[in-house]
Each structure stands twice: as C-alpha cells, then as structure tokens.
Amino acid sequence: MATEVYTHEDFANHVTPPGHPERVARIEAVWKALDDIDGLDRRTAPVAERAEILRVHPEAYIAWIEAAIPTSDYVSLDADTHVSPGSLDAALRAAGGNVAAIDAVVAGTVSNAFVAARPPGHHAERQTAMGFCLFGNVSIAAKRALDHHGLTRVAIVDFDVHHGNGTQDLLWDEARTLYISSHQMPLYPGTGAPHETGAHDNIINAPLAPLTGGPEMRRLYERELLPALDDFRPELVLISAGFDAHADDPLANLNWLADDFAWLTERLCDAADAHADGRVVSTLEGGYDLNALGESVAAHVRVLRERAR
C-alpha cells in the first residue's frame, strides 16, 4: 500500500521576513526530497473547517490571527512569529491536511500518511502564536481522531529538537492522549522538564543535553520512551516530525543524522504495528538546514513507505 502525502502549493505563500529560518525554501526542499520517493500517493491538503481548530483554540484567537493578516509585507505576532498575506490559508491547510490524513488513516484507506506543511504547529498555545507556529496542527489531528472518530488512546511522539510547549498546553488535561517529547535542554522555549507530566500523567518530557548524538538518543528511546509508548497501547501514533535535531541544524546543538531519524521512525512504526494496525500520521515541524532537512525527511518518509500496509 502507499503512503499518502498531504501538501499544497499554498505552503509556499506563507512568507517570512528575509533571513528568517522558517522560510519558503524549507517546503521546497521537502517537496524535492519527496519527488525522489516512489509509491507516494499525493493528496491536496484542504482548508480546515473552523470547528476542527475550535477543538483546541478559542474563537477569539482564530479571529485575532485572521485580523492580523496583512494585505502586503509582514506583521509580527511575536519576536519570531510573522504573518504575510498568504499565511492564513497556509495555516488553515496545515491544520486541514492533518485532519484529512487522520480521516484517511482511521478509515483504513492507507495505514500511514505524512503532512508536508508549514507553518509548523507544536509551539502554538491555546491563545498564543509563538515559535513560528499559528495553529496546533498535531493536537488538532489528535482531537479529530478522538472526538470525531471515537478513538480513546492517541499517542503523539515529538522528536523535534525543541519542546512542543504548544502541544503540551493543548493536551495538558487530555487523558486520552499520551504526549512524548524528546528535546534539547536548555533551548527555546524553555519548557519540557521531566516534572511537567500533564493533569493525568499523560505527558512525558525527556530533555537531552546539548551535543547528544544518535546512539544516546536510541538508548533513551529504547530504555524509557518506547516502553512507555507500548504500555499506553495507542490506537493511533502521531508524529511531530521536526528534523532540527540533525547535527547540521543551525538552531540547535544535537548531533543526530538522517539514519537516526530512519531508526526512530522504524521503532514508532513497530509500536503502531503492535497496537494500532500500523496507523501513523506524521506532520512536519522544524528543520532549518535545507540539505539536512531534505535528507532527513526522505529517510523518514522512505520508512513510512516501506512500512505502509
């Protein structure tokens, strides 16, 4: 079976100021990497229905984002989060691509999917745009699986080098989810300490020291994080797939390589095979060195493709 890839040309219309790391060239590098992989089923990422976003963000926040969108140039929502005329459509399609991927995977038309989208989502809190993120894409996906499809155990594994403070905020009191994050500490945004465990022990934060390489990452996952994922017995595995833990990434200091992302993807597919009929939805978060991003996305999606059933 194929792996579905949800994307849209509008992801290149979310334009950030010159020199900003979360730039249009990122999605172009991802598209180029995906072009070299056979057996992908390309799908259009649709605009999310408002009701989907309202599961995690209040109406006033969505209205504030809409009102902030300029007719030209940029508007800054915080020190590093900016919007341009094309940003709203891109953000709505990033969320909508995730919803569509959930629908396809839960329906069983495919076992796994990758959402190649920007802006990313895991830093967006309930009422706060930050860290290049507007809407909590992976949390919107989880809520779709829970509230629309009636699943009861959805796991989110976030291997982006930054802590997903937004996902943690949006799912803090959601007992039907397990959020597992590995991330460099100290690093932006500063959250993600092990004692932040959620309202129902539904959050596991695993900080990594600067310079942590692939072997140490693999040991951490094998000893602590993958057993916790198995214990949860997820009916669906979601991945916040940031590739900025790569050694070449300019925004952080971990030393993972493309093979490490492939290894971790294999292990997450193992857990999905054991508990969830192989169901995996992965969504793009960070990754700011274009070559490392392309190579790592290719390694990740190749594994999804090989494991699709």
- Output the CA angle 191-196-202, nearest 5 degrees: 125
Least distance (Å) from Zn ion to the CB of residue 249? 8
Determine which helix (DSSP H) or strand (DSSP E) holds 30, and give its type and residue range. Answer: helix 24-35
Our finding on whether 162 is near Zn ion (CB under 5 A) is yes
Binding residues for Zn ion, rule CB under 5 A, total 5
Q: Which residue is nearest to Zn ion (CB)?
A: 286
Active-site hit among 14, 57, 82, 123: 123
- What the block records as the tokens of 80 is 């590093």
CA pair distance 160, 120, nearest whole angstrom: 11
- For the bound state, the minimum distance from the C-beta of residue 239 to Zn ion, rounded and expressed in Å, comes to 14
The residue from 160, 169, 260, 289 that contacts Zn ion (CB under 5 A) is: 160
Least distance in angstroms from the C-beta of 187 to Zn ion: 9
Stretch that binds Zn ion, among 110-118, 160-168, 223-231, 260-268 (CB under 5 A): 160-168
Closest CA to 304 of 119, 41, 106: 41
Nearest to 44 by CA among 92, 108, 97: 97
Considering beta carbons, is residue 278 or 287 the nearer one to Zn ion? 287
Q: Which is nearer to Zn ion, 98 or 181 (CB)?
A: 181
Rounded CA-CA distance 88/48 in Å is 11
Residue type, 243: F
Element at 300 (helix H, strand E): helix 290-307
Nearer to Zn ion, 160 or 289 (CB): 160
97 near Zn ion, rule: CB under 5 A: no
> Based on CB atoms, which residue is closest to Zn ion, 64 or 188?
188
DSSP state of 158: E
Name the minimum Å distance from CB 74 to Zn ion.
21
At residue 211, φ and ψ (nearest 5 deg) are 80, 5
Residue 195 annotated as catalytic? no
Whichever of 232 and 288 has its CB closer to Zn ion, that residue is 288
In the list 286, 296, 304, 308, the residue contacting Zn ion (rule: CB under 5 A) is 286
Position 121 contacts Zn ion (CB under 5 A): no
Q: Which of residues 226-285 bind Zn ion (CB under 5 A)?
A: 242, 244
Contacts by 48-54 with C-beta closer than 8 Å and gap 24+? 48/92, 48/93, 48/95, 48/96, 48/98, 48/99, 48/135, 48/140, 49/96, 49/99, 52/95, 52/96, 52/99, 52/140, 52/143, 52/144, 53/92, 53/95, 53/135, 53/140
Give min distance, CB of 135 to Zn ion, in A: 16
Residues in contact with Zn ion by the rule CB under 5 A = 160, 162, 242, 244, 286
Q: Which residues are catalytic?
A: 123
